[in-house]
Amino acid sequence: KKALCACQNRIPAIGLVGVFGYLDAGTRDLHADLHPFVAAGREIVFAVDSDAAINRDIAVAAHRFGAIARLRGCKFKALALPPHFEGGNGLRIAVKACVDDVIVKDGAGRMRALLDKAEPVCGNADDLYVRWLLDCAGLCAAEGADPRPLAGDIARKGYFDKPASGGVKTVIEAG
């Protein structure tokens, strides 16, 4: 429904089943159905739901897809959508936002503006994850949202328990 909503609003999109949905299960290479779209000269924006800030696996998927797309000659960018916020009187919380949520609540123009601000993927998957995490934390702080749900989600996902390629060091240096 996310890709359909985008296409109905003249935002070209392909929906994947899960963030690793671009992979062919048998070969672990790009799914053959995507070959015509992941081709030299194309610009691809890998847009993911706002909960990417609490799930390192989403950054890993985006980073891997970026490597495949660049090998095929594409210009690749990734975007973790910003969360929506609910509540008031000091009880604001971040709420997961998907492509269709942004279009319905904020308009197709806002979605296009976010896509235009997508950034190239540099460094490793942990660098991407930390960038998304810091962006989300900054938005939460600016909105006066309670940081405890975000911190709880991060702890629940176990990011700091996983072997990472420098992620913990990056978080400490960035903080």
**pLDDT of res. 116:** 96
Structure tokens at 7: 């296409």
Structure tokens at 29: 């290479």
Percent of the chain scoring above 70 in pLDDT: 89
pTM to 2 decimals?
Answer: 0.83
Range 6-10 average pLDDT? 95
* Helix, coil or strand: residue 161: helix
In this predicted structure, the answer to whether residue 171 has a pLDDT above a threshold of 50 is no
**pLDDT of res. 149:** 79
Separation CA 167–CA 126 (nearest Å): 5
In this predicted structure, the answer to whether residue 89 has a pLDDT above a threshold of 50 is yes
In this predicted structure, the answer to whether residue 150 has a pLDDT above a threshold of 80 is no
C-beta separation of 145 from 53 below 8 A: no
Which among 109, 167, 85 has a CA at the least distance from the CA of 133? 167
In this predicted structure, the answer to whether residue 54 has a pLDDT above a threshold of 90 is no
Structure tokens at 109: 């123009």
Residue 158 — very low, low, confident or very high, per pLDDT cuts 50/70/90? low
In this predicted structure, the answer to whether residue 91 has a pLDDT above a threshold of 90 is no
Separation CA 154–CA 78 (nearest Å): 20
Beta bridge partners of 47: 79
